[in-house]
A and B are shown apart, each in its own frame.
Chain A
Amino acid sequence: MDSSVHLDNTVMQFGDFTAIQQTDLTIKSGEFFSFLGPSGCGKTTILNMISGFIDPTQGDIKIGGKSMRGVPANKRPTSMIFQNLALFPLMTVAENIEFGLEVRGVSKSERKKASDRLLELVALEGSGTKRVSELSGGQKQRIAIARALAVEPQVLLLDEPLSALDLKLRQHMRTELKAIQRKTGITFIYITHDQGEALTMSDRVAVMSAGRIQQVADPITLYRDPHTAFVASFVGENNGVSGKVIEANSDFVVLDCGPLGKLAGRSQGNIAVGADATLFIRPEHFRLQAEEGMHTLRATIDEVNFEGAYLTLNANTPANLPLSIQLGTHQFSDSLKKGAPVSLSYNEQDAIVIAGGGHV
């Protein structure tokens, strides 16, 4: 069954405010797709448009190729898991799960069968008669999933459903959600501001900012080849150094970064000589020992943090630009202490230059 979702030149305006700039995007059938962005970037608006709680000002939403214009929320083949779960507190667990089937006029015995099967899927067999208030946070989470799956949606919409859980449970639920998605083959559309969630679970991620999709890519591409400065600094940690382009070819760009000297990196898109640009280096790409062909920055250590598997350093450069550096614990030495000078090298393959300056 085709359960793709197509945002067909969709625009959403609230009065004078444009929540979603014109967007054209296809989410493939059976895909685990995430919208990642800071709060207020419009990701929840997209979810509300797909589920039918609001209608786009312009353009259309298509699910499985069918236009959803004028189709009310209760007639769409979507099902949503809310941020606060929104389980019905006055109903039992089974009644919650069966609600969508009850609405569809499914017989009592069929409903019972369905809720038993779903409770088994989320590993909560025998909890059907419990009240919602008797469940723990993680159990409620699973009931919300079961309730959403009960109506056999083509598309499951998840609105930051894990944000209320503690870290351990959150990590566990990530794996579980992914497993459920594989088992059911339903298209999952996941909204989050947590890049860890987006990167670990998704087949593809759309990074959003200010109502605009910045980049759509699989997690690895997104991390390695950010297209915009926003993506570079929002997804994972990054150090941005701005400068003027003094040399450029199709692959590499050299920047004059003032007191930091000349630095080079892979070019992202067409960057002309003389333009402002920003070089991004991830904290884990710095080395303490320079090798052949590496570029080096000089800095002074501000702070050393031991994090178990790795060390993070905060350092300051002569240009008064703070850098964050991540090193394997084995690289620790007594010379790494506050106030000590350090030379930081990186491979130009690992840095990326994006047009536009003054960023960070």
Chain B
Amino acid sequence: MFSQLKSRFGSSLAVGIIGMIAIWLIGLVILPQILMVDYSFRPNLLPADIGGPNDTYSLMNYETLFSNKIHLAIFFKTIWSSVLVTSLTLVVSYPIAFYLAKVATPQKAALCLLLLIIPFWINEILRTFSWYIILAYKGPLNALLLGLGIIDRPIRFLSGDGGVLIGMVYAYILFMIFPIYNAIESLDTNQIKAARNLGAGWIRTHWRVVIPHAKPGIATGCIMTFMLAAGSYAVPALLGSPGSRWFTQIIYNWFFEGGDWNQGAAYAFLLLIICIGFIALVMRVFKVGLGDIAK
């Protein structure tokens, strides 16, 4: 890599580029992570006691989660809800992705993509707040449903899991649509025609031909959505409080309200480890390799 850069930019600039990348990687990514790992194994002490006889490495911070039943429940609920968010996002995104890739004319597809992307030019907090307004007890969605006579009294969408699910599906839908869209677009349309021609209905055509082909894209989308959902803070804080708490909120509390960075770091790593483990398991079950995802 260095010789390539050198031949293109000259040696001083090449050293500069590599140096900046190294500083960024080491100083901003690797070192802080190591620091947090270090924190997570040490007790939370007064500044005076740091480095003293009580400052020893232990698994104590990690054990806290398993002794605190409420935190443990929220932890598993976060994982479970993230699975739910991921599945719901998949169910919503797959038809859109298929439509964009195989049904829509190029002009319509471009228009749809634009309409999907425009909301994402707005800050996530603002977007979430707009959902807060839409889903409010006396908000427009309830008014619409009441007006259409679908419900007789307003539904309390907020302060529960419903609002969080809706908000997250909306927040992460692009991360699901794009990889699936890319995967389906690369499918030869004749494959779909061939399946139809051999007598397959739409469901079987998707199940046997389109989905197997799009599997790497689906896996990529699910992993991104799952990781984002499990690590989300703004959506549950705004749309879920106080009924639906997310594990990230507990981590936040340890850091900034409890002032216990050591405990917060341990919780954060536990979430990371479980998420990675969970993804590895799902990839195993659906027989998707890392190579497929990188495609």
Question: A residues touching B (Cβ–Cβ < 8 Å)?
Answer: 51, 53, 72-75, 78-80, 82-84, 86-88, 90-91, 99-100, 103-104, 147-148, 150-151
Contacts and interface: CB of A to CB of B under 8 A. Distances in A.
Which of A73, A74, A78 is most buried by chain B, counting CB atoms within 10 A of its CB? Answer: A74
Given A90-B212, A90-B213, A103-B204, A74 B199 contact: yes
B200 A99 contact: yes
A160 to B, nearest CB: 12
B13 to A, nearest CB: 45
A359 B164 CA distance: 73
B191 A86 contact: yes
Contacts of A79: 197-198
A14 to B, nearest CB: 12
B193 A88 contact: no
A103 B199 CA distance: 6
Which of A75, A78, A88 is most buried by chain B, counting CB atoms within 10 A of its CB? Answer: A88
A100 B198 contact: yes
B193 A86 contact: yes
15 contacts: A53-B196, A73-B193, A73-B196, A73-B197, A75-B199, A82-B193, A86-B194, A88-B191, A88-B194, A88-B208, A90-B213, A99-B195, A103-B199, A150-B198, A151-B199
Contacts of B204: 103
A82 B213 contact: no
B204 to A, nearest CB: 6
* Interface range, B side: 10 to 19
Contacts, number: 57
A73 B208 CA distance: 17
Interface of B: 188, 190-191, 193-201, 204, 208-209, 212-213
Which of B193, B194, B197, B208 is most buried by chain A, counting CB atoms within 10 A of its CB? Answer: B197
B156 to A, nearest CB: 44
Nearest to B212: A90
Nearest to B201: A74
Nearest to B197: A80
Contacts of B188: 84, 86
A203 B201 CA distance: 34
A151 to B, nearest CB: 6
Contacts of B194: 80, 82, 86-88
Given A99-B208, A103-B204, 7 more contacts: A53-B196, A82-B193, A84-B188, A84-B190, A88-B209, A100-B198, A103-B199
A285 B204 CA distance: 57
A53 B189 CA distance: 12
A213 B260 CA distance: 83
B196 A74 contact: yes
Contacts of A53: 193, 196
B210 to A, nearest CB: 11
- A-B residue pairs, 8 tightest by C-beta: A100-B198, A86-B190, A86-B194, A103-B199, A73-B196, A80-B197, A103-B200, A82-B190
A74 B190 contact: no
A73 B202 CA distance: 11
Nearest to B194: A86
A280 B119 CA distance: 67
Nearest to A75: B199
Contacts of B212: 90
A151 B198 CA distance: 7
A147 B208 CA distance: 16
Contacts of B191: 86, 88
